[in-house]
Amino acid sequence: MRKDSNTLLNALSTAASIGFYLVSSVAAGILLGRLVDEYFAITPWGTVWGIVLGMIAGMWSMYKKVVGGK
């Protein structure tokens, strides 16, 4: 009974957080990309690559969460 409720709550927290990995990684990518843009004056390439890398990072952390259980 205790184990079942543990599994349920953990599954609930994983399910509720998994979508946010994709969104927040892209947000972090944009943030870092804009900083790079400002520092090196290469607008908009920093932001563009930030978004692309953010998407990859989101997929990567979701993969780790689902497959690796981390």
Partner 1 sequence: MEHGHEIGSHSLAHFAGLTFNMDTLIMTWITMAIVIVLAIAATRRIELQPRGWQNFLEMAVVYLLEQVETNMGSKGQKLAPLIITLFLFLVVGNELGLVPGFTSPTNDINTTLGLALMIVLIVHVLGIKNKGFVRYFKHFFEPYVPFVIINIIEEVAKPITLSFRLFGNILAGEILLLVLGMLVPYFVPTLWLAFSVFVGIVQAFIFTMLSISYLSNSMQDGH
Q: Is the distance from CB of 40 to CB of 46 less than 8 angstroms? A: yes
For residue 62, the minimal CB distance to partner 1 (Å) is: 10
**Which tokens belong to 32?**
């870092």
Residue 52 touches partner 1, criterion: CB under 8 A:
no
Contact call for residue 43 and partner 1 (CB under 8 A): no
Residue 46 · residue 36 · CB < 8 Å: yes
Binding site for partner 1 (CB under 8 A): 6, 9-10, 12-13, 16-17, 20-21, 24-25, 27-29, 31-32, 50, 53-54, 56-58, 60-61, 70
